[in-house]
Amino acid sequence: MGASFLWRRDSAFWFQIAIPKDLRSLLGATPLRLRLPSPGDAIPYARILAGVAERGFAQMRLKGHELALFNGTLRNARQIILESLTAEIHEIMSLKTQPVRTSPAPEKRNPLANLQKQNEILEGVVAALREKATSIAQEYADFVEQSNKRVRGFQEQLQNAQHGEQGCSVLSTEQRF
């Protein structure tokens, strides 16, 4: 999954995602692209950013023109999604730079202790990424639930409108006799 959102140029990796056809009138046709800060973490970054971008696309579908208005000024909808992707990169980078509480510093001459410390750091990063993915999944589930409620509401309105039209045609038929 992550590899399909990666684009390599020279020694740098870029995140790239195509704009869905139904949103091109709002966001333009050019894919969204962001340079990834760490080539070693390119695939995890791409996976997370793909989820954030898809969430942004879903929000644009739901209320795109409302999102484009910010503090009473019209904002570029494309810029809104790019800003959320950039914020996500900064958040991940801050998680990686936060110190992990470990036991007292291991001896520099003990390679096993160094590996254990690196393992603890990586476990912390993975836990933070897992927590963020869970948060994104929950936001998506909430969004789907809200969308389903709206759809049910629209279906009820449509049924009520159809029943109202049928009632009018029955009355007009009875009035003829």
Q: What is the pLDDT of residues 44-101, one digit of tens each?
A: 888 888 888 888 888 888 876 555 555 445 457 777 788 888 888 888 777 766 665 5
Q: Is the pLDDT of residue 149 over 60?
A: yes
Phi, psi (rounded to 5 degrees) for 15: -90, 135
Q: What pLDDT sits at residue 104?
A: 53
Residue of 167 and 24 predicted with greater confidence: 24
Give 69-126 as a DSSP string: EETTEE--HHHHHHHHHHHHHHHHHHHHHSPPP-SSPPPTT-HHHHHHHHHHHHHHHH
Q: Among residues 29, 55, 152, 42, which one has the least CA distance to residue 92?
A: 42
The percent of residues in the chain predicted with pLDDT above 70, rounded, is 76
Please state, as a whole number, how many other Cβ atoms lie within 10 Å of the Cβ of residue 81.
23
At residue 108 the predicted structure's pLDDT band, cuts being 50, 70 and 90, is: low
33 strand-pairing partners: 16
Number of domains in the chain: 1
Q: What pLDDT sits at residue 21?
A: 92
Residue 93 domain boundaries: 2-176
CA neighbours within 13 Å on the CB side: how many for 26? 24
Q: What pLDDT sits at residue 2?
A: 39
Tell me which DSSP letter residue 30 carries. Answer: S
